[in-house]
Amino acid sequence: MAPVSIQIDGMHCNACVTRVERALSKVEGASDVTVTVGSATAAGAPAQALLDAIVKAGYTARVTAP
């Protein structure tokens, strides 16, 4: 699957980055995960599964590019 770019609201620091990285790493098939404050990219998993993991971690998110 192609990389997905995601905007994440509610992130403020490196602890937030770590929390989202851990959440995305648990998504089956997710690879090439890159997280910065306010955004993430990941490949290999459906966009909805990535969004669900971010929401479960306590943030709001939306896909900005497929």
Q: Structural domain boundaries of the chain?
A: 4-65
Question: What pLDDT sits at residue 64?
Answer: 94
In CATH terms, the fold of domain 4-65 is Alpha-Beta Plaits (3.30.70)
Averaged pLDDT, 47-54: 98
Say what the pTM is: 0.94
Residue in 19, 30, 31 with CA at minimum distance from that of residue 55: 19
pLDDT in tens, 11-21: 999 999 999 99
Torsional sign, CA 15, 19, 33, 13? negative
pLDDT at 58 over 80: yes
State residue 1's pLDDT score: 78
Contact assessment for residue 63 and residue 4, using Cβ atoms and an 8 Å cutoff? yes
Instruction: Identify the band that residue 65 occupies on the pLDDT scale cut at 50, 70 and 90.
Output: confident
